[in-house]
Every structure is written in C-alpha cells, then in structure tokens.
Structure 1
Amino acid sequence: MVICLTGGTMPERLAEMLLDLWTPLIILWITLPPCIYMAPMNQSQVLMSGSPLELNRLTEEQRILNRSKRGWVWNQMFVLEEFSGPEPILVGRLHTDLDPGSKKIKYILSGDGAGTIFQINDITGDIHAIKRLDREEKAEYTLTAQAVDWETNKPLEPPSEFIIKVQDINDNAPEFLNGPYHATVPEMSILGTSVTNVTATDADDPVYGNSAKLVYSILEGQPYFSIEPETAIIKTALPNMDREAKEEYLVVIQAKDMGGHSGGLSGTTTLTVTLTDVNDNPPKFAQSLYHFSVPEDVVLGTAIGRVKANDQDIGENAQSSYDIIDGDGTALFEITSDAQAQDGIIRLRKPLDFETKKSYTLKVEAANVHIDPRFSGRGPFKDTATVKIVVEDADEPPVFSSPTYLLEVHENAALNSVIGQVTARDPDITSSPIRFSIDRHTDLERQFNINADDGKITLATPLDRELSVWHNITIIATEIRNHSQISRVPVAIKVLDVNDNAPEFASEYEAFLCENGKPGQVIQTVSAMDKDDPKNGHYFLYSLLPEMVNNPNFTIKKNEDNSLSILAKHNGFNRQKQEVYLLPIIISDSGNPPLSSTSTLTIRVCGCSSDGVVQSCNVEAYVLPIGLSMGALIAILACIILLLVIVVLFVTLRRHKNEPLIIKDDEDVRENIIRYDDEGGGEEDTEAFDIATLQNPDGINGFLPPLLSLIFMVMHRKS
C-alpha cells in the first residue's frame, strides 16, 4: 500500500490562471514517478507535494538540489503567510493507493494546529488552512496523517508524519531598535572619519528571498555625512567641519529591505552628531587698551582690575594663562589667572606712592594652556593688550623715619634726661604737622615721657637694670589736621649696666673640717656672684680681713675659674676645744669704681672616719653606722613602729572580744610612787624605775617590748 500526498486546488480564479501559466511544467512534473520511495512503512510510501502555486518553485528547487546531489525532503507542504480570502486555503491533499474510490477510507489529521488551524476533508484528504498564518509567530507545524477504515476506524497503515511550513512574504518593515542615536566626532576631522554605525532588524525570513536583506541610505544629513549601504558605518563626507560654525547635525538614516529595490519596506531613525571641540582658535582680548585707577593707599594684594581674552573654543581648550611681559610696573603689579571666569586679575605687589609716580603702563599677554600640535602652524595661540594704571592721591598717615627704634640709657641716668628721639613726616603734598605721644598701654608705669612736638623721649622714673633690662614702648604719630591719620612705631629701650651692686657668695656655704685632716687640705670651694653685668665679664678678688691675714688656722687660694678654695693650715683640730670657726672673706669686683662686700664662711669641726668621711659634727650627736644615713635609719624605725602598732592593735582587739569595756573592781591595779628632791638628771631619771610598772599588766602597754622603748629613746636624742 502507498500513501501519496498531492496538491489541492486554489480558489477557482487563481487556480485557473496558475494552471494556464504552469500547464507545461505540470505535465513535465507528472511524467516523473508519482511517488518516491522514502522508507518501508508497512508496505507504504509517502509522496507530498505543495499546492499548485508552489509547483514551479519545487521543480526549480528540485533541479538545484539534484545538481548539488542532495535529497529533497518530500514530506513537506508549504503555505503562504498572511494569505486571506473568502474561502480556506488549500494546503495539500492526502491520498493512499489503498483507496479504490469506494469511499471506505477516512483520513485523519493530528498534531500542531490540527482542527484549529488546519482542517482535513476526511473523504478526499484535502488539507485547508482555516486561519490567517504569521511566519513570525510560528514558522512550521508538525502534523500526523493516517488512513483508517471508515466503518471500523481501524488503521489501514501506520501513521505518517509531515511538516507544513509557513512561507515568508515581505510583511515586516526594518526597525532600528536602539534609535534614536547620538554620536560625536572631533571638529576639523579629515574626510572619511568614522562617526558611528547603526543597526536595523527585519523580522522576515533572512534565508528565503530578499525580504530581510537591508540596504542603508541617508535621507537627511548630506553632504556632511555618508553611510556604507551594507555595513551602516557612518563617516564624515566633508573635511574640516568647524564646531564654531555649527556644532550639531541631525542625520536621518533609512534601512530598506528587498535589497533596496522598489516595493521593499523601509524604516528610518535619527542620528544626532555633535562636533567636539579641539583647540583650533587662539585667545583674543576684547579690547587692546585697558584703563584702571587705584588709590595709593590700597592694601597689598588687592585686585586692581580684570582683563579678559575670549576664546571660541570651550573647556580646557579655552583656558588661557596671563602674564605681564613688559612695562614700567612689572615690579609693583602681578597678574593671576581665574580658571572659573577665564580672565586675568591684576593685583598690587608693592606699595604705591602718588608723590613718587602717578601712572604705570603694563603689557599683558594671554596664551592658551593646552596647545594642539595639529594646529600649531596656524600661528601663535596668544594675544597681547596694554594696561594703563593711574595712581590716585590719598591722605596717608605719617611715616616714621625708621620702622623701629633702638635706644640705650644707663640705669643711673638722671630723671628728665633725653634718651633718644623719633621723627615722622606727612607724605602727602599738603603736609600736615605731626604730634607725638606714648601708647600708655605699653608704658603702664609711666617710666618715659615724649615731647609732643619734636619726639624727644625722656626718663620719668629711675631705671634698674637688675629689675628689667628692656623696655618696649610704642610711639604714636598723629596728623594735626586729620586726627584719624595715625601711625605707630615700636621703640626698644635697653638699660645699660653700671656697677651698683657688690659681689657676694653665690649661696650660703657651710664647710666641714675633719679632726684628723691634713695641712693644706681643701676644706671648701666657694664662688661669688654679682647682679651687675660688666661688658668683659666678672672678675672677683678675694681676701681676708686685715686683722685675719695671719690667720693661724686657715688660708685662701684663688682658682682660675674665678672661685676660691679655703685650705687648713695645720691638723689636730679638736671639736671638744672649738667646734665652729667663722672666716670672714672680702669679695671685690672689677667695676669702676670697684665694689666689695664681706661674706662669712662657717667652718664646723667634725669627727670623720679614717678615709675622711664625716660622721658627726657635735659632741651629743648619735654616731651613725658606717654607710647608713639618718634618713635610712628613720625609715627603718618607722617600719618597726608601724609593725608593732599593728601587732598591738591585733592583740587588743582579740582581748576586747572576751572582756567588757569597764574595768572590774577586782582587777589588779598597781601603783608605784617615787619621791625625790634632786634636780632633774635627764636620762638618769627615766632609768630610776621601770615605767612599765605604772601600766595595767594586762593592758596595751603590757605588750610593749623593750625594743620600742629603746627606739623612742633614740628618736628623742636625735630630736
């Protein structure tokens, strides 16, 4: 059994026209074997053909495929998309050689769209499309055909699967999905500089026919730009386009399918091209001559005026730096660049004086900061202008002859004596007299006066260099005609030294002499001090009192460092005979006239160890152990006392827990009365009896060990 699919009929008028046109080709196609063996299918074969509208195309495609030795897929049908008419469209016909024409065979169709999109005549096997198809929604449908017995519905052969493809027509126009577009290109670019490229899409089948073959063109934007028809790359069509002449261009681009031929569909988009700036223009001053005026008393750094050089470029290409390149005021004025306003600010560097010079001329230059080497050949990217500055007269305050004054006066100068003088003048043409005064905030003690007319400074109170060497005051100069015009000047007054203080010991010295000392041994070295400050430094003379020049015990020796050493003349000093020696020493300075004073050195005779270490300097002194100082001993004793107090307190608290606070009547209270008529013997009185017997044997004092009594005794001796 063989199942054959043959093409059905179109609507009558269309079918008649097509049959008349394609009759020879159809006859040729009929002469071919009506069926082609595909695969064994229960003694069945399948033959599928399209509608008469497709016969010529299939024949042509079959010849092409035969030439390329490729097998034609016969189990396909074709139907045009978007086809609509008064009747359903005949897609194809199913036929089996088991059908003798007795109408006992029924054709069944199943699969994609069966019954909803495609409908089959179960008797004739004609397949019709009952809905309008859109290839862009679904390009093909897979269906299954089967022949069954009309009465029993039993399959006459296995089902056969075939495909109905929706054939594309040009029903979709190209679209620019990413439009509108924006692009930039530098101005002054050469011809053919690439700007950007655009892309359009077409929903039609790109494989079948030319429905999706696009060609690009420019509808608006010529002659400035061009586009490559196939790649849609947009380029400049004119060289050296100037941003300063026109900055933005609107380009309308068209994409047309069918290879650009007539009858194709098209879509458009817009491209906005902006020319970016390059530095192709020099700065240019708005005017060649600028005039400014400035008062002579203007503060340094004040802006006098602004100059501006315009540049047709923008951004950093328009940035210019300003400089003063010539003129008679280059030392007095400077110019800085304002990056925000793109202008130059002229400022004052040094003070102006109307009476000295009344006008200045400057030559300023503006030059581009960023130079584009491509356009450097056009000439210098700079410009110059002239600036005239007129100085205006102003009422200026008085000017002192010196910015500071340094005066000197001796500390013994007489009152009302002239220390020095300050002078000032009015710098204006119409000079005003000046009056001088002292700023009393700088002379609270009113130690100085000044003559208001001539500026002479005099001494009002005595000065003492040893109290203050420097006095800093401020002198005020005021114009008599305009009291608001004042000036101030600092005056430093140095008090010069005179020899009015006698020298004396630098500190209170106390010397210690060992009993076993040797003759010529240095007992003490002393130095002197003098409150005066001689120019050549201090030099002291030391001597003994005239009546002690032949002192049998001590002598003095002047050292090179301006100090004095006291030496013992002999040995065998005995502190039992004489404990303290007083040695008066005369100290003289080298002033004019020289001054002197007498200072007394106290020398104590002490007991010393064999190596000369002082141990005691009086008869009653407690002899300390070798190497143990009084401070160390006191610290040790304090620790022992603290430890004993803690022990006593601990024992007392223990006893108080077990005994009442009130003493019972039957407690043993002892009494020990001593009577004597002798005078106090000091320490012997305390040794006449045991003081511990006066205490309650069970009380706190009963726990004091003998060591504590000894400690108190030692402390008493030290005090």
Structure 2
Amino acid sequence: MKLGKVEFCHFLQILALFLCVSGMNQAELSRSRSKPYFQSGRTRTKRSWVWNQFFVLEEYMGTDPLYVGKLHSDVDKGDGSIKYILSGEGASSIFIIDENTGDIHATKRLDREEQAYYTLRAQALDRLTNKPVEPESEFVIKIQDINDNEPKFLDGPYTAGVPEMSPVGTSVVQVTATDADDPTYGNSARVVYSILQGQPYFSVEPKTGVIKTALPNMDREAKDQYLLVIQAKDMVGQNGGLSGTTSVTVTLTDVNDNPPRFPRRSYQYNVPESLPVTSVVARIKAADADVGPNAEMEYKIVDGDGLGVFKISVDKDTQEGIITIQKELDYEAKTSYTLRIEAANMHVDPRFLSLGPFSDMTTVKIIVEDVDEPPVFTSRLYTMVVSEAAKVGTIIGTVAAHDPDASNSPVRYSIDRNTDLERYFNIDANSGVITAAKSLDRETNAVHNITVLAMESQNPAQIGRGYVAITILDINDNAPEFAMEYETTVCENAQPGQVIQKISAIDKDDPPNGHQFYFSLTAEAANNHNFTLQDNKGDVTPYLSGAVNLY
C-alpha cells in the first residue's frame, strides 16, 4: 500500500506513540503497593496492582485488534489459575481482554473527537472458585490524539467593511479557525493564519487572525470590493500540518473625499414666456463620485440678473438642482436671464479639506421665448353711466385693448352676446366705442354687466376679454300710483271731521331724496260736500298719505 505524505506522517506519529505508550503501560502495571485483603476470615497482606491510565492512539487503521495494555495481578503465578474480567464503558464491544493473560485490545477504530476517554473496571478471579483475588478496580483508557482534523472557519465566509483611504494597519475583521484536535497535546490544534489571496491590499496577523489594511489610500471610487482567501494551518504552520480556508469579502465604505463637479461650465434653456409661476424651468446636477450622505449637496443662485425671478432647490432623491419660476416672464420686457449657480456638499470631512473646496460653480442662461398672447385691455373693469332717456346710438363709453406681442397686431372688438341677450348695446369693431342699441329702462334693469371681446386680426384664435359695468341713470318718467285699490265703508252715525280712510301713493322713479306727493279730490268729487280731503303737505316720505274726512 502506497501512503501519501500526510498519511505517512500520521503513521509515524501512531508508531512512535504506540511504542512509547505500550512500554509505559506495562511498566506502570508492574508497580504495586501493599493493601490489606480479607479472605475466608483470615487477614493477610498482599501486593495489590495499581491501576494507571492507559493510552491508545485514535484512528488506528490496521486489520488486527490494537494492543492497549496488560492487566496483571501479583497473585497470578502464570499457571492459569487466575482469569481476568473487564466491565464498564466499551467493554466487550470496543475493548476485549484475554482472560488468561490480561492483555487488552481495541477492536474498533477510535476517534478522540467523539470520545476522549473510557472508564472501565477490572477484576482478577480464581478460576476454580470464581471468587475475586483482587478487589475490583477502576481505570481509564485515554484516547491519544493525532492530527486528523483540519482547522475550520465555523463563521465563514466573512463579510466586512473598512473606510476607504484608511491608513495602513487599520483593523478590518478578525477571523477564527477551530481545530477539533486536542489543544493540550502537541501542536495538532495550534493554528497560524496566512493570506492566500488579497495581497498587497490586506494582511493577516498569523496568531490572531486579525485582517488589516496593507496599502495606503485605497480608493472606493477606483475599486470598492476585494475578495480575500485566508488559510489556517495547524502544527504551527509546519510541514505535515492540515489546513482550512475561508473567504472574506471586504467592501470599502465611502468617505467624502470627492467634491461635486458640474459636467459643463455653462447651460442654456429656452422657456416660453407663458410658463406659469412655480413651473420647473430646468434640472441640473453636479456629479459626485461619493455615495449616500457624502454625495448630498445643496444648490444656490449666487449671482446674475435672474435673482428674484428664479429660485433653485434640491431634489432629495436625485440630488438634482431644480430651477423654478418665481415671477411671471414677459418676453417683451426681458428676453434672457443669466444665473450663477453653486453646488456644495452638505457634509464635508475635515480630513480632505486640503484637496480643495467641496463646491463647484456653473452658469445657466435662460432664454425667454415669445408666445402669441391674446389682446390685453387697458383696464380689467370699465364703469360707464348713461341716462335711461338716451336715444339709440348715444355713445356710452370706449374700451381699448392692444396686442402685447412685438407684432402688435390690430385688434377688433365685439360684445359677448351671452352677457347682452337683449342686445341693448353695440360696439364699434375698430374703435371700441360702445353705443346704445335700443331704449333703456332703469326700472327694468339698473346695471348692465357685459363682456367685450378683443380679437387679434392676424390670429382670431387669440381673444382677450374685458368687463364693462353700465349704470342706467334715472329720469322722472313714471307718474305716481296709489299703493292699492281703496274701498271704504262709513257708519251712518259718523261724526263730522272723523277720518274714515288714509290713502298713499308710490313712484317707480328713484330721486335721491325720495318723492313728495300732493293729494286733491277730482272735480266730480269736489262737488260732494259730505267728504273732504286733508293733504299732509311738507311730509316728505316715500309714501305720503292723505286723509279723507267726513263732515
């Protein structure tokens, strides 16, 4: 049978230990000490065996039973009168004893990592009487370790992080390998660590397994992750030792070592003048090679003629600068604006201030584009007055609108008939003069609210709207009317001068201080001397009353 290098080393270990232990076991078993022994009522002193610890190598691979040691009693004269009996852990199943010679053998392959020792009991009996000639004694068979277990990283594979730009020697993570062999015997369980993959960036301390940085100024932006292979070897790393490996994934965590930088020195955006206030004009972004909080930045307008017209804020999700309108744009007033914008990191690491300012500048030019706007009236609301006695064609007032665009297109006027259903008014299409189109009656409608349309001649789709309130002035065009139909009864015994009815009148007209009425009897009624009318002169009230008296 051809043995490999490791198997051959194990064989030599087993052989050396076997020779040493066998001699030790027999020598120890031959020692004795005196102990009183009671038998058949007589007392005698005899030499008794001393049970010591037996040793047997683990992992024996031979075909014959493995010799463990020999039990021998001083009373055994070698004539076959004494027999030996073994009991306890593994007796008969693992360990057997030759009852004549006391030789102990192991019949199975033993593994120290499964069970490190066995506790057994032994007796020497008289073969004829089957009575003990020695007191039962307990002894231990200890399994002697050999280097049959490689180191194992029970917690691997590992992941760890270390800040980029860390100085040489910065601790990253500690790896630990365990060896199932006996740490109290030899070097089988004494491991040393080495790095198989990951140089020259990282190193590992041989005794502790602490991984450290080995190169200065490692840059996450150049490479952010490294795969290390760490080896643990027992026998203190000597030839013939067993080894195990694990992987360690090391991620360089970010530090703020990169300032924001605009990809371009200037930008230009075109926006229509009709864009509403708060609308987004543009999005710009400064590039930052860092990540997370280290890439967070703020933007501000530091100069330019667009201060107060535009503002810039930051989109927290994308870190873009959002430019929005604060005031209405007017192409006819100003056609372009220039903004000087700064982007700066919000969280600056003092260690890297020597690299320069953690901010950058760019220029944004905003071109205002002309938009064909509808005509604009000179006033949002026109107020006009006209007498209700005005004849058809009377001029009431004039409205005016103009095209705000540079083309200054001519404007034509019309009345929105939805606001003048009865067509009381007309407007001159060219001049904007409003005239009365029919008779007006204040008592029917005291105020007319109409909408005037101004349309561009060159683009009829562009329509502006103006609002006109026309108040109708009153004239005295309505006669007084009795407030109601009167029907009066009088008793036949009524006394002269007794008031039998009060009457009143109303007028639909609307003088500033109310009406003053004068009451009198008609000519026919004046000839009837049974009744008289008393006029309350000078009583100025909306309803002036008169009293009919009986005489």
> With structure 2 as the length reference, what TM-score do the two structures score?
0.78
Matched position secondary structure for 2:285: strand
- Per-residue Cα deviation, 1:656-696 (whole angstroms, up to 9, x for no partner): xxxxxxxxxxxxxxxxxxxxxxxxxxxxxxxxxxxxxxxxx
Question: Are the equivalent residues in 2 in contact too, given 1:584–1:598 (CA < 8 A)?
Answer: no
Alignment correspondent of 2:494: none
Alignment correspondent of 1:148: 125
Q: In structure 1, what is the Cα distance between the partners aligned to 2:122 and 2:190?
A: 36
Question: Are the equivalent residues in 2 in contact too, given 1:540–1:588 (CA < 8 A)?
Answer: no
Matches within 5 A, 1:82-97: 82-97=59-74
From the superposition, tell whether residues 22 and 106 of structure 1 become closer, same or farther in structure 2 (CA, over 3 Å): closer
Q: Is 2:204 aligned against 1:258?
A: no
Matched position secondary structure for 1:110: strand
Matches within 5 A, 1:473-488: 473-488=450-465
Question: Are the equivalent residues in 2 in contact too, given 1:149–1:156 (CA < 8 A)?
Answer: yes
Q: Is 2:228 aligned against 1:228?
A: no
Alignment correspondent of 1:311: 288
Q: Is 2:228 aligned against 1:282?
A: no
Return the match for 2:310 from 310, 316, 333: 333
Q: In structure 2, what is the Cα distance between the partners aligned to 1:40 and 1:584?
A: 166
Shift in Å at residue 344 of structure 1? 2.7
Matches within 5 A, 1:403-552: 403-409=380-386, 413-460=390-437, 470-495=447-472
Alignment correspondent of 1:384: 361
Q: In structure 2, what is the Cα distance between the partners aligned to 1:362 and 1:306?
A: 13
Shift in Å at residue 40 of structure 1? 7.5
Number of corresponding residues: 504
Q: In structure 2, what is the Cα distance between the partners aligned to 1:284 and 1:92?
A: 83
**Which letter does structure 2 place at the counterpart of 1:189?**
S
Alignment correspondent of 1:292: 269
Alignment correspondent of 1:599: 545
Question: Are the equivalent residues in 2 in contact too, given 1:505–1:599 (CA < 8 A)?
Answer: no
Shift in Å at residue 118 of structure 1? 0.9
From the superposition, tell whether residues 98 and 534 of structure 1 become closer, same or farther in structure 2 (CA, over 3 Å): farther
Shift in Å at residue 258 of structure 1? 2.6
Superposed CA RMSD in Å reads: 4.2
Shift in Å at residue 370 of structure 1? 3.1
Shift in Å at residue 16 of structure 1? 13
Alignment correspondent of 1:665: none
Shift in Å at residue 597 of structure 1? 4.2
Q: Is 2:114 aligned against 1:128?
A: no
Alignment correspondent of 1:173: 150
Q: Is 2:93 aligned against 1:137?
A: no
Alignment correspondent of 1:35: 32
Alignment correspondent of 1:237: 214
Q: In structure 2, what is the Cα distance between the partners aligned to 1:428 and 1:38?
A: 131
Question: Are the equivalent residues in 1 in contact too, given 2:30–2:49 (CA < 8 A)?
Answer: no
Q: In structure 2, what is the Cα distance between the partners aligned to 1:475 and 1:451?
A: 11
- Per-residue Cα deviation, 1:625-679 (whole angstroms, up to 9, x for no partner): xxxxxxxxxxxxxxxxxxxxxxxxxxxxxxxxxxxxxxxxxxxxxxxxxxxxxxx
- Per-residue Cα deviation, 1:287-317 (whole angstroms, up to 9, x for no partner): 1122223344444444443322111112232
Matched position secondary structure for 1:284: coil
Q: In structure 2, what is the Cα distance between the partners aligned to 1:423 and 1:39?
A: 142
**Which letter does structure 1 place at the counterpart of 2:186?**
G
- Per-residue Cα deviation, 1:216-266 (whole angstroms, up to 9, x for no partner): 232222333333333323233334322112111122222222333343222
Alignment correspondent of 2:500: none
From the superposition, tell whether residues 254 and 483 of structure 1 become closer, same or farther in structure 2 (CA, over 3 Å): same
Question: Are the equivalent residues in 2 in contact too, given 1:249–1:273 (CA < 8 A)?
Answer: yes
Shift in Å at residue 76 of structure 1? 1.9
Shift in Å at residue 176 of structure 1? 0.8
**Which letter does structure 1 place at the counterpart of 2:384?**
L
From the superposition, tell whether residues 340 and 490 of structure 1 become closer, same or farther in structure 2 (CA, over 3 Å): farther
Alignment correspondent of 1:573: none
Alignment correspondent of 1:108: 85
**Which letter does structure 2 place at the counterpart of 1:457?**
I
Question: Are the equivalent residues in 2 in contact too, given 1:586–1:599 (CA < 8 A)?
Answer: no
Question: Are the equivalent residues in 2 in contact too, given 1:540–1:587 (CA < 8 A)?
Answer: no
Matches within 5 A, 1:160-199: 160-199=137-176
From the superposition, tell whether residues 75 and 456 of structure 1 become closer, same or farther in structure 2 (CA, over 3 Å): same
Q: In structure 2, what is the Cα distance between the partners aligned to 1:372 and 1:530?
A: 90
Alignment correspondent of 2:529: none
Shift in Å at residue 161 of structure 1? 1.9
* Higher RCO by CA contacts (8 Å cutoff, separation 6 or greater): 2
Q: In structure 1, what is the Cα distance between the partners aligned to 2:386 and 2:273?
A: 39
Question: Are the equivalent residues in 1 in contact too, given 2:25–2:70 (CA < 8 A)?
Answer: no
**Higher fraction of helix:** 1
Shift in Å at residue 206 of structure 1? 2.3
From the superposition, tell whether residues 22 and 420 of structure 1 become closer, same or farther in structure 2 (CA, over 3 Å): same
Alignment correspondent of 2:524: none
Matches within 5 A, 1:591-670: 597-599=543-545
Unmatched 5+ stretches in structure 2: 1-13, 40-44, 485-504, 522-531
Alignment correspondent of 1:710: none
Alignment correspondent of 1:696: none
Percent sequence identity over aligned pairs: 57
Which shows bigger deviation, 219-228 or 278-287? Answer: 219-228
- Per-residue Cα deviation, 1:337-377 (whole angstroms, up to 9, x for no partner): 33344333334444444444333322222222333344344
Unmatched 5+ stretches in structure 1: 1-12, 49-73, 508-527, 548-580, 590-594, 604-719
Q: In structure 2, what is the Cα distance between the partners aligned to 1:304 and 1:227?
A: 56
Matched position secondary structure for 1:316: helix
From the superposition, tell whether residues 505 and 488 of structure 1 become closer, same or farther in structure 2 (CA, over 3 Å): same
Question: Are the equivalent residues in 1 in contact too, given 2:49–2:74 (CA < 8 A)?
Answer: no
Q: In structure 2, what is the Cα distance between the partners aligned to 1:300 and 1:38?
A: 113
Question: Are the equivalent residues in 1 in contact too, given 2:271–2:367 (CA < 8 A)?
Answer: yes
Question: Are the equivalent residues in 2 in contact too, given 1:149–1:155 (CA < 8 A)?
Answer: yes
From the superposition, tell whether residues 94 and 373 of structure 1 become closer, same or farther in structure 2 (CA, over 3 Å): same
Matched position secondary structure for 1:387: strand
From the superposition, tell whether residues 105 and 449 of structure 1 become closer, same or farther in structure 2 (CA, over 3 Å): same
Return the match for 2:301 from 324, 329, 350: 324
- Per-residue Cα deviation, 1:14-43 (whole angstroms, up to 9, x for no partner): 699958x999x999x78x982146897987
Return the match for 1:371 from 348, 367, 370: 348
Shift in Å at residue 599 of structure 1? 3.0
**Higher fraction of strand:** 2
Which shows bigger deviation, 144-153 or 353-362? Answer: 353-362
**Which letter does structure 2 place at the counterpart of 1:112?**
E
Alignment correspondent of 1:626: none
Shift in Å at residue 327 of structure 1? 1.9
Question: Are the equivalent residues in 2 in contact too, given 1:504–1:597 (CA < 8 A)?
Answer: no
Question: Are the equivalent residues in 2 in contact too, given 1:436–1:475 (CA < 8 A)?
Answer: yes
Q: In structure 2, what is the Cα distance between the partners aligned to 1:231 and 1:585?
A: 125
From the superposition, tell whether residues 203 and 461 of structure 1 become closer, same or farther in structure 2 (CA, over 3 Å): farther
Shift in Å at residue 285 of structure 1? 0.9
Shift in Å at residue 409 of structure 1? 4.2
From the superposition, tell whether residues 596 and 200 of structure 1 become closer, same or farther in structure 2 (CA, over 3 Å): closer
Q: In structure 2, what is the Cα distance between the partners aligned to 1:38 and 1:503?
A: 158
Matched position secondary structure for 1:310: coil
Shift in Å at residue 193 of structure 1? 3.0
From the superposition, tell whether residues 178 and 17 of structure 1 become closer, same or farther in structure 2 (CA, over 3 Å): closer
Question: Are the equivalent residues in 2 in contact too, given 1:37–1:45 (CA < 8 A)?
Answer: yes
Matched position secondary structure for 2:218: coil
Matched position secondary structure for 1:259: helix
From the superposition, tell whether residues 396 and 120 of structure 1 become closer, same or farther in structure 2 (CA, over 3 Å): same
Shift in Å at residue 187 of structure 1? 1.8
